[in-house]
Amino acid sequence: MIETSVVRAEVLEVKEAGKVTRITVRYPFRPEPGNFVSLVNPGQWEFPLAVGDYWMGRMELYVSSKRLSQWMKGREAVLLKGPLGTRLPAMREVLAFSTSVHLYDLLYPLREVVRGGGKARLVCEDCDTEFVDEVDRPEGVLVSVPPDKLMRMEVPFPAYVYVRWANMNCMLGVCGTCVVGGRLACTSGPFLKVESVESLREMLP
């Protein structure tokens, strides 16, 4: 297991990719599927980002915030804290569900399944997908959708939900602001078992 570190990451590319901005950086630590990193602006803020991909020391990150995309432009390097969170269990066949920009939360775990010789299928609303394998008996289900949509879905088990709506501040499980269903999203997540987010149903009309 790699210890969490804050490193200066060289920015290789910042490019518009549809509704999001793709940021490619040089990063020395290979994340596990399910890990995330945080973008650090010292003394100001930290912003959690899903890992979109990783290969040969390069990491892809996707940003949907226009303000953050503008902040990134023209920068030669940024500070990244990571790898953070808990890796997903190994799975050979995976079924995934997502919508629009939420699909970028799932890219790296699904790509790693395929690279390892497994199968992945992504059912995505309002987006194209590269994951079209026939998956008859999934060993796991990954979900990244808005919370209101999640609570109205019939999610198969066992399922892991990317809780991007959790209010993660310290990223290290210290401040306690990101509790979802009794679990700290920044340390136990950002993928949590669907049972952990069932309490959200009580918050919906």
Residue 203: is its pLDDT beyond 60?
Answer: no
pLDDT of residue 160: 93
Q: Give the integer Cα–Cα distance in Å for 127 and 123.
A: 9
φ, ψ (nearest 5 deg) of residue 60: -100, 135
Q: Which residues pair with 140 in a beta bridge?
A: 94
Mean pLDDT, rounded, for 97-114: 94
Residue 51: CB atoms within 10 A of its CB come to: 28
- 1-5, 84-88, 128-132, 145-149: which range is least confident on average? 1-5
Each residue of 121-170: pLDDT tens digit? Answer: 999 988 888 898 888 888 999 999 988 888 788 777 779 999 988 888 88
Confidence of residue 1 (pLDDT cuts 50, 70, 90): low
Helix (H, G, I), strand (E, B) or coil at 22: strand
CA-CA-CA-CA torsion sign (108, 112, 113, 115): positive
One-letter-per-residue 3-state SS of 180-197: ECCEEHHHHCCEEEHHHH
The reported pTM is 0.91
Which DSSP string do the residues of 32-75 spell out, in sequence order?
A: PTT-EEEEEETTTEEEEEEEEEEETTEEEEEE--HHHHHHHTT-
| Domains of the chain, each with CATH number or no CATH | 5-84 (2.40.30.10)
pLDDT of residue 199: 63
- Encoded tokens for 200: 């959200």
Beta pairing, strands 58-63 & 20-26: antiparallel
Pairwise pLDDT comparison (110 vs 134), residue with the higher score: 110
